[in-house]
């Protein structure tokens, strides 16, 4: 069981589960199979989401994510479309936790987005490819050097280690990985060239013409 929280809707904080602390307490009361679900859009502006990730990981209570992005509130935008560096920092905390503890984080990675202008399939392809890139970038952080820099309070070195990893272009390596698995190097281009969207649109339109509904 994954317990999700949200500080607004229908009213600010006057909701059933308003923050990660409430979700944590409820999960612990529910039993050993309950953990916290984090939606990256369910936070106040400027909240330190990666710190919450680190806390929940340390308590072994992070059960999963609903990934999306936002500009104002729970906008459900495509992952990384507004602040990819934040998602990079979240993935880094997961990598760092696994390095520090020597255990694999048992996390369910899910997507919770709502697209009104973007095509649904293309938006999901964008999200998946962005997730691959940011996860790979986070894996490039030299965690041993980072831990030493943190121990020595060398803030400049610690910051540079994160920024250098984030600035690395990992796309060629991911493209090579896709080729090794027999997958298209460019998923978006492959989808657009496949004609699948046009074909399924016609098939569904033809099917719907045979459906007759009546309120009588």
| CATH number of the domain to which 90 belongs | 3.20.20.150
Beta bridge partners of 65: 38, 109
Q: Compute the average pLDDT of residues 32-36.
A: 97
Nearest Cα neighbor of 77 from 25, 28, 130 is 130
Q: Do both 8 and 113 map to the same domain?
A: yes
Q: Do both 93 and 178 map to the same domain?
A: no
The reported pLDDT for the residue numbered 1 is 97
- Select the highest-mean-pLDDT range: 2-11, 110-119, 127-136: 127-136
Reported as a pLDDT band with limits 50, 70 and 90, residue 19 is: very high
Element (H, E) at 2: strand 2-4
**Per the structure block, which two tokens stand in for 196?**
């699948």
What is the residue range of 19's domain? 2-141
Reported as a pLDDT band with limits 50, 70 and 90, residue 45 is: confident
Residue 167 lies in a domain: no
**Could you count the other beta carbons within 10 Å of the beta carbon of residue 106?**
10
Residue 56 CB burial class (10 angstroms; 0-12, 13-18, ≥19):
buried
Number of domains in the chain: 2
**Per the structure block, which two tokens stand in for 211?**
């459906």
Q: Do both 115 and 68 map to the same domain?
A: yes
Residue 157 lies in a domain: no
**Per the structure block, which two tokens stand in for 169?**
């272009």
Q: Are 134 and 84 in contact (CB under 8 A)?
A: yes
Q: Do both 201 and 136 map to the same domain?
A: no
Residue 7 lies in a domain: yes
Q: Strands 108-111, 2-4: parallel, antiparallel or unpaired by DSSP?
A: unpaired
Residues 6+ apart with CB under 8 A from 94: 53, 57, 105, 107, 138
Q: Are 84 and 44 in contact (CB under 8 A)?
A: no
**Could you count the other beta carbons within 10 Å of the beta carbon of residue 187?**
17
Question: How far, in whole angstroms, is CA 4 from its chain's centroid?
Answer: 15
Q: Do both 191 and 133 map to the same domain?
A: no
**Average pLDDT of the chain, as a whole number:** 94
Q: Are 21 and 51 in contact (CB under 8 A)?
A: no
Render pLDDT for 123-133 as a digit per residue (tens, 0 to 9). Answer: 999 999 999 99
The reported pLDDT for the residue numbered 214 is 57
The reported pLDDT for the residue numbered 15 is 79
Q: Compute the average pLDDT of residues 12-41.
A: 93
Residue 213 clears pLDDT 90, i.e. is over it: no
Query: What's the predicted TM-score (pTM) here?
Result: 0.91
Q: Are 131 and 137 in contact (CB under 8 A)?
A: no
């Amino acid at each position: 069981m994954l317990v999700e929280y949200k500080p607004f809707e229908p009213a600010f904080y006057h909701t059933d589960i308003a923050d990660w602390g409430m979700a944590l307490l409820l999960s612990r009361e529910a039993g050993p199979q309950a953990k916290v679900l984090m939606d990256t859009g369910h936070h106040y502006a400027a909240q330190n989401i990666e710190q919450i990730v680190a806390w929940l990981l340390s308590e072994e209570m992070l059960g999963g994510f609903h990934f999306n992005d936002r500009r104002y509130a729970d906008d459900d935008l495509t992952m990384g479309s507004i602040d990819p560096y934040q998602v990079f920092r979240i993935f880094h905390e997961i990598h760092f936790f696994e390095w520090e503890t020597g255990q694999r984080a048992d996390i369910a990675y899910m997507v919770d987005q709502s697209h009104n202008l973007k095509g649904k399939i293309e938006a999901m392809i964008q999200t998946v490819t962005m997730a691959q890139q940011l996860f790979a970038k986070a894996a490039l952080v030299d965690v041993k050097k980072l831990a030493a820099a943190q121990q020595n309070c060398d803030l400049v070195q610690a910051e540079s280690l994160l920024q250098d990893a984030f600035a690395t272009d990992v796309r060629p390596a991911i493209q090579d990985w896709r080729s090794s698995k027999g997958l298209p190097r460019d998923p978006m281009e492959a989808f657009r060239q496949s004609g699948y969207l046009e074909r399924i649109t016609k098939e569904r339109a033809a099917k719907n013409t045979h459906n007759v509904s009546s309120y009588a």
